[in-house]
Chain A
Amino acid sequence: SQQGEEDPQALSIQEGENATMNCSYKTSINNLQWYRQNSGRGLVHLILIRSNEREKHSGRLRVTLDTSKKSSSLLITASRAADTASYFCATDTGRRALTFGSGTRLQVQP
C-alpha cells in the first residue's frame, strides 16, 4: 500500500461549507505537503508542514500534523466552487523524491 493514503476518496459539499481531508502515512517524515490538481493535469503546491510543527495556516487552509498517529488533515474553510479539484498529500521521507497519496476528489456545489 502507499505511503500516503487520503480519506475520503471523494467528498461533495455545498459552497460555504468546510471541507476536511485526511492523510495517513507509514514511515517517519521530514515534512508533509498538500498539493491541488485541477482536471488531472499539473499539481500546485498548497502548503508544507514540517515534522516539528503541529498546525499551519494559509488563507482559508489549515493543516494539522500528528506525528504520533502518522496523520495529517487539510481543512478548507468557506469553500467555493473554484475549490473543486483533487487534493494530494505528499511526504518527504528523506528519499530524493516525494511520495504521493492517491488523492481526495473534492466537489463543491454552487
Chain B
Amino acid sequence: GAGVSQSPSNKVTEKGKDVELRCDPISGHTALYWYRQSLGQGLEFLIYFQGNSAPDKSGLPSDRFSAERTGGSVSTLTIQRTQQEDSAVYLCASSPEGSTDTQYFGPGTRLTVL
C-alpha cells in the first residue's frame, strides 16, 4: 500500500512569507507526527495528533507555527512570517493507533527561507 506522502518536496520562500506543508498519512493510521530536522541534526518533535483528541503541541517552537488535521487524515503544517532559522527538513510520520512501536516516515519537505 501507499506510504506517507508529503508535499511539496522542496519549498523555497522569502523571509516573512507564510508556507503550508502537507502530509498524507498511511490510510487507517490514527496517529500523525510532525518533526523538524536541521542540517546534520537529529529530529525535533513539533506536534502530535491522535484520533479526535486534542493535539500535543508541546514541541512547536513559536506561535508562528500551527498545524491542523482534517477528518483524521491529511495534516497541514503552517509557518507564518517565516524566518531564516525555519530552514530545515520537515518530516511527517504516522503510526497505527498512537503506538510508538514503529513510526512510518514520509520523504520530508525541504524548506529554505531566503
**Which residues in A have some Cβ–Cβ distance to B below 8 Å?**
2, 4, 30-31, 33, 35, 40-45, 48, 88, 90, 92, 96-103
Contacts and interface: CB of A to CB of B under 8 A. Distances in A.
B100 A31 contact: yes
Contacts of A4: 42
Contacts of A43: 43, 91, 93, 103, 105
Contact of B106 (A30, A42, A97, A103): A42
Nearest to A43: B105
B58 to A, nearest CB: 9
B50 interface: yes
A48 B4 CA distance: 20
A43 B42 CA distance: 11
Interface residues of B, number: 28
A58 B101 CA distance: 16
Contacts, number: 63
A93 to B, nearest CB: 9
Contacts of A90: 43
26 contacts: A4-B42, A31-B101, A33-B101, A33-B102, A40-B37, A40-B39, A40-B108, A41-B107, A41-B108, A42-B91, A43-B43, A45-B102, A45-B103, A48-B101, A90-B43, A96-B31, A96-B56, A96-B100, A97-B48, A97-B56, A98-B100, A100-B35, A100-B42, A100-B45, A102-B41, A103-B41
Nearest to B34: A97
Interface of B: 4, 31, 33, 35, 37, 39, 41-43, 45, 48, 50, 56, 59, 89, 91, 93, 98, 100-108, 110
A98 B103 contact: yes
A96 to B, nearest CB: 5
A106 B43 CA distance: 17
Contacts of B43: 43, 88, 90, 100
Contact of A97 (B33, B37, B41, B107): B33
